[in-house]
Chain A
Amino acid sequence: MKISDVFGDPPVGKKSPLPKPVSTGWTKKFIDELASKMAAEVGYRSGEALEPIVNELGGKVFTGTVPETGSTGYLEVEEGGEFLIALSPIPGTYRNNFTIAHELGHYFLHSKLGEKPLFATRQAGDRAEWEANWFAAGFLMPAEEFVEEWKKADGSIGRLINRYQLSGGAIEIRKKTLEELGYRFG
C-alpha cells in the first residue's frame, strides 16, 4: 500500500504489518542534544509550523477524524522512506505540535531517517516511546535557547506557550528535565 492510498482514504482502526519501533537505548541527554542539532540541521526554528519540515523530509501530515486516525494518531514509514503522520483532531494544535515532533523522533531514531519501515501508534510504557518524547522536547525546545526564553518570560507560562506553540504541560516538563540535566534558570 502506498501512502497516497492511505492519505486519500485512511482505513478505520488502522493496523499495519510493519514492525514497531525498537529503542536505541541511548541516554536522554544524548537524544536531547542530537534532536536539537537535527532541528538546526533541517532549518527548524522553534515556534514555527512543523509541517513544512515533515514535507521536506518526504513525509505528510494528516489530521483525520478519530475513527480514521485512532485516538492518538500514528506514524507509518514505508519501504523507500516516505512517511505519514496521522493526527487526531482532539488534542488541538499545541499538543499535536508535540506529537508531530514525537513522530519525527521515531523517524530519526528508530527508522534511521526512512531506512527502516515501521508503524508506531504511541503505545505507552515502552522505552522507544520515551525516546521519541525526549527527541521531541530537544527538537522543539533546544536547551540553551529555552533557558534564555524562560528567563525573558519571567515566569509567564502563557508567553512561553505563545513562543513555542506548545502546551503548558510540555513547557513545564521541559523546564524540569533541563533542571535535572544541570541547567540553571536564574
Chain B
Amino acid sequence: MRFPESISRKEYEQITQRSLRLFLSVDIVNSTALKEEYREKGQSWLEIAHSFYTKFPSMLASALDPNPRMFVSTPEVNPWKAIGDELVFVARIEVMDEIPRLVDAFRSVSNRWNRDYEKSEVVVKAAAWLAGFPVANSVIPGDAPERFDFTGSSIDIGFRLCRFSSPRRFVISAELAYALTTLEAELAGDLRYLGREPMKGVLRGRSYPVFWIDMFASPDLPAFAKIELLEERVTGASPKPVKPAETREFLREWIASTGGGISLPFPPGKADPRFPIPENYDEQEAAKLSEFEREFLSESGIESNDGTDPDEDVFTDFTNRLKPPKKEP
C-alpha cells in the first residue's frame, strides 16, 4: 500500500469539490473483554467479527433501500473504514432533509442488531457526525486510484465523540445536532444533552457540547432496553429531552465561537435558505484549493512544448552573472 504524492487533474477536481458528508459509526461494546471471554469459553470470535462486518452493512443497505414513502431521495451510504471492531460509513449529502432519515435508519439498524445479538452479548453503540469539504475538512488521495480518504477537524472530533456513546446513547456532533434542530426533524425530539466534555487536542482544548439521540426512544427495542425503561418508570429518573429551538440557538453561537475551527453545515449544491453559506467561505475555499493544488497536483495544464525559447543566450548571460565580482584593487 502506498499513498500517492501527486494526482491527476481529474482526481484533483474530484477531491476539491464542495461537499457535505455524514459519517455513521457503529462499534461493538466492550469488544476487548468480549474477545477474551469468547476465547476462554472456546467460542469463535471470528464468527462474530465476520457477521458484524458483513451483516451490519447488509442490514443498513436493506433499511436504506429506496422506499418512496420514506425517502425523498436516498444517498448512497458506503463503508469507509473498518477499524478493529468499529465500522464507519459515509454518505454524501445533497439535500439537508436526507440527514434525519439516514440517522434514524442507522438508529433502527443498530437497535435491530442489538435485538438479534443481545443473547450473545455482542451489542453495539453508534455515533454520527457531519463534515463539510473542502474548507474545514479535506478529501485526500487514498491508497489506490479513485480511492479517497478524509481528514479534518470534524472527523477528528467525530472519532473522539465515539467514547461517549453507549447502546442507549447515539452520540452526535454539534454540527449534526444543529442540522437536526434547524430542520425541526422529529428526531430532534429524541435529543438529549450530556454536557460539555473536554476534547483533548481539538479546538484548542475547548470543552465540547455532547448531544445524543436516545436509542431507546424508538420502536422494536432489545430486551435490555425495555427493562431499563421499565426501571426508569420506577425511579422517575429518565434523561430529559432538550428544547430544540434553544439547542439550535446555543449551537449556532457555540459553533461561531470556535472561530472557524468548525462551521455551520450547508448543502453543497442547491441553496437552502435554512442553511446559508457562511460569510468568507468563498475566500477560504480559494485559499484551500490553492493549497491542494500545490500539495497534490503533479502537472498543470501547461504542455511541455508551450512557450517560446529566448532569443538571447541565457546560458552565457547566467554564467557571467555567476562569476564572482572582481575584487577591488
Q: Which residues of chain A are within 8 angstroms of B297 by Cβ–Cβ distance?
A: 124
Given the interface contacts A24-B310, A28-B307, does A42 sit within 8 Å of B322 by beta carbon? yes
Count class of interface residues, chain A: 35 or more
Interface footprint category on B = 20 to 34
Of B41-49, B131-139, B184-192, B287-295, the one contacting chain A is B287-295
Given A34-B318, A38-B318, A113-B321, do A122 and B294 touch, yes or no (CB 8 Å)? yes
Q: B171 CB to closest chain A CB, in angstroms?
A: 32
Write the B269-300 contact mask toward A (1 if CB under 8 angstroms, else 0).
Answer: 00000000000000000000011011001111
Name the CB-closest residue of A to B324.
Answer: A56
Q: Return the contact of A26 from the options B291, B294, B300, B310 (Cβ within 8 A).
A: B310
Per the bound structure, the CA–CA distance linking A28 and B303 in Å amounts to 8
Are A127 and B302 CB-contacts (below 8 A) given A30-B309, A169-B4, A169-B6?
Answer: yes
- Residues on A with C-beta less than 8 A from B4 are 169
Q: Are B307 and A25 in contact (CB under 8 A)?
A: yes
| CB atoms of A125 and B293 under 8 A apart | yes
Q: A27-B305, A28-B302, A30-B309 are in contact. Are A41 and B319 (CB under 8 A)?
A: yes
Judge if A108 is at the interface, Cβ distance under 8 Å.
Answer: yes
In this complex, what residue of B is CB-closest to A157?
A: B2
- Chain A positions within 8 Å of B308 at CB level: 25-27
A138-186 contacts to B, CB under 8 A, are 167-170, 172-173, 176-177, 180-181
Given contacts A26-B308, A27-B309, A29-B305, contact A169 B298 (CB under 8 A): yes
* Nearest B residue (CB) for A95: B5
Question: Is the CB of B67 closer than 8 A to any CB of chain A?
Answer: no
Q: How far is the CB of B51 from chain A (nearest CB, A)?
A: 40
- Which partner residue on chain B sits nearest A108 by CB separation? B318
- CA distance in complex: A63, B53 (Å): 46
Residue in B5, B314, B315, B319 whose beta carbon sits within 8 Å of that of A167 in the complex: B5
Cβ B293 vs Cβ A124 within 8 A: yes
Chain B residue with Cβ nearest A113: B321
CA distance A108 to B315 in the complex (A): 11
The answer on a CB contact under 8 Å between A124 and B290 is yes
Q: Does B328 contact A (CB under 8 A)?
A: no
Bound Cα distance A168, B306 (Å): 27
Complex interface: chain A residues within 8 A of B293 (CB): 124-125
What is the distance, in angstroms, from B260's C-beta to the closest C-beta of chain A? 15
Does B5 lie within 8 Å of A29, measured CB to CB? no
Contact of A130 among B6, B302, B315 (CB under 8 A): B302
- Is A72 touching B305 in the complex (CB atoms < 8 A)? no
- B304 contacts the other chain (Cβ, under 8 Å)? yes
Best-surrounded residue of B6, B309, B315 (most CB of chain A within 10 A): B309
Question: In the complex, A167→B298 CA distance in Å?
Answer: 13
For A112, give its contact among B6, B309, B321 (CB under 8 Å).
Answer: B321
Closest Cβ of chain A to B324, distance in Å, is 10
15 residue pairs from A and B, CB less than 8 Å apart: A25-B308, A26-B308, A27-B309, A29-B305, A30-B309, A34-B315, A34-B318, A41-B322, A124-B293, A125-B300, A127-B302, A129-B294, A130-B300, A173-B299, A176-B298
What are the 6 A-B residue pairs with the smallest beta carbon separation, nearest first?
A169-B5, A124-B293, A124-B294, A27-B307, A113-B321, A28-B304
